[in-house]
Amino acid sequence: MPSSKSSATPLALWLGLASVVILLDQFTKVLVMGDFRLHDSRTVTSFFNLVRAHNTGAAFSFLADAAGWQRWFFVGLGVFASVFIVWMLRTHPTQKLFCFAVTMILGGALGNVIDRLLHGYVVDFLQFHWSWLAPMFPGGYFPAFNLADSAITLGAICLVIDELRRVRRS
């Protein structure tokens, strides 16, 4: 059932939310870079550490060992995805969960693009570890990540939920 135009959330609000994600992401990375040297780690709980890691690759360090071209590849991919997401926000303004999902992905993608442009790598600092992860990750340590990665993951989960709801309605 189509929604009326009056129930559409303005594009500016979605872009504002993406900007908040970017600002929070960059703020936390500045804090980490100011207080930690590369590979420093502080235990917070029995399963969580704050660390400073640099990732020249993508998720799970994919292409991290490439010759340097991956920096520009991931910048270009992030910019292309961002333009596509803004277009989707403009063309689906009444689909609130969908717009929230792609807004989270937009903010996270641009947060990591900024890192690649400024530093040549993405700054990661959240590290979880549980013994049950040991078969998949050395010592049970899940690869470090950041707020931008968390926003992208939240967005992906919301996209799946949105699609499941859409399938259930039809």
Q: How sure is the predictor about 68, in pLDDT bands with cuts at 50, 70 and 90?
A: low
pLDDT at 59: 63
Measure the CA–CA gap between 45 and 85, rounded to whole angstroms.
37
Average pLDDT over residues 74-78: 85
Task: Identify the active-site residue in 25, 115, 124, 162.
Answer: 124
Q: Which tens digit of pLDDT belongs to each residue from 85-113?
A: 999 999 999 999 999 999 999 999 999 99
What is the C-alpha radius of gyration for the chain, rounded to an integer number of angstroms? Answer: 18
Cβ-proximal residues to 147 (8 Å cutoff; 6+ apart), any chain: 21, 24, 25, 28, 108, 111, 126
* Mean pLDDT rounded to a whole number for the chain: 90
Six-digit token pair at 152? 């992208």
Residue 142 has pLDDT above 90, yes or no: yes
pLDDT at 3: 47
Q: Which residue has the higher pLDDT, 6 or 100?
A: 100
Catalytic residue at 149? yes
Percent pLDDT > 70 in the chain is: 88
Q: Which tens digit of pLDDT belongs to each residue from 37-66?
A: 999 999 999 999 999 999 876 665 555 555
Residue 67 has pLDDT above 90, yes or no: no
Q: Which residue has the higher pLDDT, 24 or 75?
A: 24
29: burial class by Cβ within 10 Å (0-12, 13-18, 19+)?
buried
pLDDT at 63: 54
Task: Identify the active-site residue in 25, 115, 149, 162.
Answer: 149
pLDDT at 1: 44
In the chain, where the domains are located: 10-169
Strands in 122-128's sheet, in edge-to-edge order, are: 41-45, 48-55, 122-128
Please provide the DSSP assignment of 51-99 as one string.
EEEEESSSGGGTTTTS-SHHHHHHHHHHHHHHHHHHHHHHH-TT-HHHH
The dihedrals phi and psi of 51, each to the nearest 5 degrees, come to: -135, 170
